[in-house]
Structure 1
Amino acid sequence: MAKKPGPAGQPRRSFIEQARRAQIVEAATEVVARVGYTNTSLARIAEHADISKSVITYHFSGKDELLRLVATQFFERAWQHMETQIVARDTAAGQVEAWIGSQLEFFHEHRTEFLAMSEIVTNHREPDGSHAFAREVAEEVDGLAEILARGQRDQEFRSFDTRRVATIILRAADGVLGSWAMDETVDLPQQTAALLDFIDHAIRREHS
């Protein structure tokens, strides 16, 4: 019996298929977080999930599709968490604080998923060798730069190149996360508070 079409004409997956795919994604996340991107294989994921490799290849075309899904699903969940807090703020300064603060908060609460996502984003490549998630990274910079530009228009922030500063802010957050990724004993909430204070002092307009 043919499956009923889902969104965009795609077959609608049964509950059992969705549950199996979720199990495989979870196993892949845990394997990448534990052994790293390079050492992750479908065989290793299958062993971790206690299933055969053929079960994975039935649901996914290969490692590329599976690991992309691990990263993109985490992106989506993180953004849902962040967006609620960002839109709740009335000022650009508040939105910058909510963006960075809620992002690091979500990552802190989901360490395994964060480690897997970070490994995939850093190492995954397109067939031509380019970074697979370059578009997502650029969209993140553009989104934060838009908030910074509004802060300048509202005279909350001093004059600077908004896209360059957005990149610096996001890479600073990456640096804090990198320290925490290497050493779980790093107090990420405390580091986040210090980072937010630093960002606020760096971008605020001085009032006479």
Structure 2
Amino acid sequence: MNRARRLQFVECAIDGLVELGYAATTIAEVARRAGVSKSVVLYHFTSRSELMEAVMQQVYADAVPPLRAAREAASTERERVQIYVRSSVNFTWTHQKEAQAVLEISRNLRDDDGRLRYTSQGNDGLVAVAQKLLEAGQQAGEFGEFDTWTAAVLLRATIDALSEQFMTNPDLDGPEVAEHLVRLIDRMIPAARTE
């Protein structure tokens, strides 16, 4: 029951973040959406920050397993990168609300000292995943020499920006965007030189 109730509040917070923005998605607003009193929400989450962290954790918990499984099915490192790009874009496309909520939180949630909790340094985990995929391709001898960190930052920034693009431009087609990005990234990654 506690898990189901917490998930309900996370879903109400996601809806609020997308419809009203971060500032208006308060504990009171989440309680209103859930049809309960504020104290019920505060029983499960001691603060708004804790609730926002739970939103982030839930979205990533939903995203990671299918992305990881898809990558593991690949037979080459280049294919792993292609699958990573395609799967990440398609997750953003099929989970637009969740991706937009993550964007709202990452732009607004602050630590006690007033600094943004999710900064470019806080995004290092996502950049590191992309960088490891690119480094694995180099180590396997499939990719040529290039700066994997720069390529990973470029890749993550593009994927992260798509949630807002998908929400504001209904003419975009996620799978089509994914294929364009896969082709672009594929061209960007040099093949290993053969002597």
Q: Give the TM-score taking structure 2 as reference length.
A: 0.90
Look up the SS of the partner of 2:25 in the other structure.
coil
Q: Distance in 1 between matches of 2:170 and 2:30?
A: 24
Q: 2:141 aligns with which of 146, 155, 160?
A: 155
Q: Which of structures 1 and 2 has the larger relative contact order (alpha carbons within 8 angstroms, sep 6+)?
A: 2
Aligned to 2:3: 18
| Corresponding residue of 1:95 | 80
**Separation in 2, partners of 1:200, 1:53:** 50
- 1:203 equivalent to 2:173? Answer no
Equivalent of residue 45 in structure 2, options 51, 56, 60: 60
1:84 is matched with which residue: 59, 65, 69? 69
Deviation at 1:136, TM superposition (A): 5.2
List runs of 5+ in structure 2 lacking aligned partners: none
Deviation of 1:176 after TM superposition, in Å, equals 3.2
Note the aligned Cα RMSD (angstroms). Answer: 1.8
Alignment correspondent of 1:37: 22
Out of 60-69 and 87-96, give the one that drifted further. 87-96
Amino acid at match of 2:138: Q
Find the aligned partners of 2:74 and 2:115 in 1 and give their Cα distance: 36
The equivalent residue for 1:8 is: none
Residue aligned with 2:123, SS: helix
C-alpha deviation, 1:93, in angstroms: 0.9
Q: CA deviation digits over 1:121-173, x for unaligned, max 9?
A: 22212222333235652111112111211212233222111111111111122
Partner in structure 2 of residue 4 of structure 1 = none
* Structure 1 CA distance for aligned equivalents of residues 21 and 171 of structure 2: 20
Aligned mate of 2:130, from 144, 150, 159: 144
Aligned equivalent of 1:193: 179
CA contact (8 A) 1:32 1:116 kept: yes
Q: TM-score, normalised by structure 1?
A: 0.85
Length, aligned pairs only: 193
Provide the secondary structure at the position in 2 that maps to 1:48: helix
Do the aligned partners of 1:24 and 1:56 also contact (CA within 8 Å) in 2? yes
* Alpha-carbon distance between aligned partners in 1 of 2:41 and 2:116, rounded to the nearest angstrom: 25
CA contact (8 A) 1:46 1:56 kept: yes
Which residue is 2:56 aligned to? 71
Shift in alpha-carbon separation, 1:104–1:115, aligned structure 2, 3 A: same
Aligned partners of 1:132 and 1:22: how far apart in 2? 22
Among all aligned residue pairs of Structure 1 and Structure 2, give the percentage whose two residues are the same amino acid. 29
How far is the alpha carbon of 1:206 from its aligned partner?
6.7
**183-192 or 28-37, which moves further after superposition?**
183-192
Instruction: For residue 155 of structure 1, give the secondary structure of its aligned residue in structure 2.
Output: coil
Q: 2: distance between equivalents of 1:162 and 1:187?
A: 28
- Stretches of structure 1 lacking an aligned partner (at least 5 in a row): 1-15
User: Given that residues 43 and 53 in structure 1 are in contact (C-alpha distance below 8 angstroms), is that contact kept between their aligned partners in structure 2?
Assistant: yes
